[in-house]
Amino acid sequence: MKFTEEHEWLRVEGDLVLVGITDHASEQLGDVVFVELPELETQVAKGDEICVIESVKAASDILAPVDGEIVEVNEALADNPGLVNEDPLGAAWFFKMKVEDMSQLDGFMSEDEYKDFIG
């Protein structure tokens, strides 16, 4: 698993990359009450705001961590946004991206590096 400075995690499954938010991010957000998922089959560029999370406190964006195509979204989050708090690193993945160039992931942090990053 890789981690970004935007508190996202990425997990490679074949030529797909699963993306979610870290437990640290989910704690900071507070109780999540709404998730707006990205549109399927869209090409996104690294840094695009493609997903919105609303917690009891505020709205936050999820950015595309790399260039790629959105091929699957986690519909379970639309019905049960609380999953983001319950199981951020597992059941609450947000979307799967088809990524041509996996070397884009090289610069991201390992779990230990991320733990140091959040202090």
Partner 1 sequence: MADDAVLKRTGLYDLHIELGAKMVPFAGWEMPVQYPMGVLKEHLHCRAQAGLFDVSHMGQVILPASAAKALEELVPVDVTGLGEGRQRYAMFTNAEGGILDDLMVANRGDHLFLVVNAACAEADIRHLEDYLEGVCVIHNRALLALQGPAAETALARLVPAVAGMRFMDVQTHGWNGAELWISRSGYTGEDGYEISLPSDRAEEFARELLEMDEVAAIGLGARDSLRLEAGLCLYGHDIDTSTTPIEAGLNWAIQKRRRAEGGFHGAERILRELAEGPGRLRMGLRPEGRAPMREGVDIYAEAEGGAPIGQVTSGGFGPSIEAPMAMAYLPADLSEGTTVYGEVRGKRLPARIVPMPFHPHSYKR
Exposure string for 40-77, b = 16+ CB within 10 A, e = fewer: eeeebeeebebbebebeeeebebbbbbbbebbebbeeb
Among 81, 94, 99, 114, which residue interacts with partner 1 (rule: CB under 8 A)?
81
Instruction: From 90, 57, 71, select the one nearest 14 (Cα to Cα).
Output: 71
Candidate ranges 2-10, 14-22, 28-36, 65-73; the one touching partner 1 (CB under 8 A): 28-36
Nearest approach, Cβ of 14 to partner 1 (angstroms)? 32
Residue 76 lies near partner 1 (rule: CB under 8 A): no
Residue 87 lies near partner 1 (rule: CB under 8 A): no
Instruction: Please identify, using beta-carbon distances, which residue of 12 and 78 lies nearer to partner 1.
Output: 78
How many other C-beta atoms lie within 10 A of the C-beta of residue 28? Answer: 14
The sign of the dihedral angle between the CA atoms of 81, 86, 91, 94 is positive
Among 41, 57, 115, 116, which residue interacts with partner 1 (rule: CB under 8 A)?
57
Contact positions vs partner 1 (CB under 8 A): 30-31, 33-34, 36, 52, 54, 56-59, 78, 81-82, 85
